[in-house]
Amino acid sequence: HSSSFQKRIAHIPLVAVHNNMTTRELLANRVTEALYNLFPDETNWDPQLTAATRPEFGDFQSNAALSLAKKRKMNPLQVAEQIAQNIQTNDICEQPQVAPPGFVNFTLKKQFVASQLQKMLADPQRLGISPRERKQRVLVDFSSPNIAKEMHVGHLRSTIIGDCICRVLEFLGHDVLRINHVGDWGTQFGMLIAYLKEVKPDALDNSSTTSLGDLVEFYKAAKKRFDEDSVFQESARKQVVALQAGDEDCIRAWSFLCEQSRKEFQQIYDMLDVKLIERGESFYNEWLGIVCKELEDSGVAVRDEGALCIFVGGHTGRQGKIQPLIVRKSDGGFNYATTDMAAIRYRVKEDKADRILYITDAGQSLHFSQVFEAAKRIGYAKPETKLEHVPFGLVQSEGGKKFKTREGETVKLKDLLQEAVRRAEEDFRNRLQAEEREESEEYIKRVAQVIGIGAIKYADLKNNRTSNYQFSYSKMLSLQGNTAPYMLYAFARIQGIYRKGDLDLTDGQSESIQFILDDPTELSLAKMLLQLEEMLFLLERDLKPNVLCDYMFELSQRFNQFYENCPVLKAESLPRRTSRLALCKLTANTLQLCLHLLGIPILERI
């Protein structure tokens, strides 16, 4: 059917035809086709197909009749009736139903649902989802902590959200560059280098194995020295100039400081199992002058009170004056914005990025909107280049207060991650004791690690990223509700049921499995399984990982309803038993894939 159908609608540009259409896309094409046949003189055949807003409407609804009728001064109910009569959906849906004031409602046929499930079952890795035909090069700028400064909870959020987004885009077949834009350049290095030379001169020795210990403490001490001593301030300034000029000693001191920080950051990335390519601000140093020249020559930037400025966005500052984007300060120094301009230039020109995502807190929204606008104006970003700031809210402690330790100190990320693992271990040991189970130490440590780190990630990702999020160990480690432990247990339990059934799903076997979806809970679970791809496409577009968590939670709940209502291992007949075991397997595979996309490994048993 599909090939002749694709030929027929080849001239309809509204819904692109690709090899792997979701059910919604498939149906949308059919609506478009019907609209085209009914109203060939129209210019817009938008099917306006969405998931049904109410269960009694079926699975999908088209609102196209409403706007068409209005435009053509017709009765919307009649237009809807015409669409329902004309549309060819016999292979997908029951006869479409019309509802006032002009909706066309679609209910999927069980047979169609069953055949889709078969495709998913035959492909346990990708669950029938092919990689995108139009592959994009996506550069994701995330994590990005600053050298010698604290890597704080904001960077943790960026790391977790960024990694999840990368995983989803990678899964969909895009070419993803995971870039760590570390703050490894700037005037603070003058102070740090001057201080290093004073207190640890041996660090400059190439063969030195010296370590700085706590870098944040070092930063604080240097800052204190800087604030108190004007002679020191002068030498710090000289170090900046020397560093910029490429002075060997300074470069060595700078590399030493970067290396120290890098080791600390890496510990966090290892704990989280996140991969990043470090390409810090210093990388763009050699282009900063060129960028300013190009900006000035093209007239995109102008001199204003000695500074080189780009007037974008019309943001007014305190005195009601428009705040421009400054790319060169009046003292000749470059800044954060200059680096970001040079970075876009490089990422489009050299990396050939089609889409660039910046995962930072919402506080940087203005900065990015100005930088994006400037980059478009100068042409560093092509008109089709997608530049997107992916903002997120603050991490707060319970009750919405600032996130601090009890002593009022900032929380060290390593401590925070370790504490989650420690608590997960405690919970697990209690459980083992209550169940009188014995497990090896190695196994207990593994479970604690997966649950503890998984809980931190999940708790962060399940929130709408733009809202502030309240950090709570007890909530994220709870076995009830939308949490990582709940999902991990759900997976292990469902996988366990499947294993007990001894169903042969080796190559070729799965195609012969007939799904029987007679019980409403079976059908409802099946339809949720079918929504996986649509959900991922939504995530690809909106970059909101919470839709993934919501999907998993809903899926596991529908599974529970199914399991309450339909005996699996003791099903009424062999075909039913087989079908239900296959539903268990599909649910487990789907949960596994979703967990993987969130950056959480599964445990076969807990």
Residues that bind ligand ARG (CB under 6 A): 141, 144-146, 181, 183, 340, 343, 358, 360
User: Whole-number minimum distance, CB 152 to ligand ARG, in Å?
Assistant: 8
User: Whole-number minimum distance, CB 402 to ligand ARG, in Å?
Assistant: 17
User: Whole-number minimum distance, CB 100 to ligand ARG, in Å?
Assistant: 51
The Cα–Cα gap between 68 and 296 comes to 51
Nearer to ligand ARG, 340 or 427 (CB): 340
User: Whole-number minimum distance, CB 183 to ligand ARG, in Å?
Assistant: 4
Nearer to ligand ARG, 159 or 360 (CB): 360
Nearer to ligand ARG, 149 or 200 (CB): 149
Name the packing angle between helices 153-171 and 574-598 (round to 10°): 130
Q: Tell me the CA distances in angstroms from 439 to 401, 423, 444, 491, one per residue in order.
A: 40, 18, 7, 20
Residue 327 — φ and ψ, nearest 5°?
A: -110, -15
Nearest to 92 by CA among 64, 111, 117: 111
Nearer to ligand ARG, 45 or 346 (CB): 346
Count CA within 13 A, CB hemisphere, residue 331.
6
Nearer to ligand ARG, 46 or 150 (CB): 150
The Cα–Cα gap between 538 and 553 comes to 17
Nearer to ligand ARG, 396 or 524 (CB): 396
User: Whole-number minimum distance, CB 360 to ligand ARG, in Å?
Assistant: 5
CB neighbourhood size of 516 (10 A)? 20
User: Whole-number minimum distance, CB 339 to ligand ARG, in Å?
Assistant: 7
Q: Dig out the tokens for 586 from the structure.
A: 């599909």
User: Whole-number minimum distance, CB 403 to ligand ARG, in Å?
Assistant: 16
Report which residue type is found at 34: A
Find all residues with CB under 8 Å of 452, minimum gap 6, and list them. 417, 420, 421, 422, 423, 424, 425, 477
Q: Tell me the CA distances in angstroms from 332 to 170, 306, 344, 345, one per residue in order.
A: 41, 9, 21, 21
Nearer to ligand ARG, 179 or 300 (CB): 179
Closest residue by beta carbon to ligand ARG: 144
User: Whole-number minimum distance, CB 371 to ligand ARG, in Å?
Assistant: 8
Where are any strands of DSSP class E within 362-461? 386-392, 395-397, 401-402
| Residue listed under structure tokens 């604030």 | 227
The Cα–Cα gap between 427 and 531 comes to 34
Nearer to ligand ARG, 57 or 269 (CB): 269
Nearest to 388 by CA among 422, 413, 365: 365
Nearer to ligand ARG, 33 or 340 (CB): 340
User: Whole-number minimum distance, CB 281 to ligand ARG, in Å?
Assistant: 8
One DSSP character per residue, 558-580 reads HHHHHHHHS-STT-SSHHHHHHH
Q: Dig out the tokens for 407 from the structure.
A: 């002593």
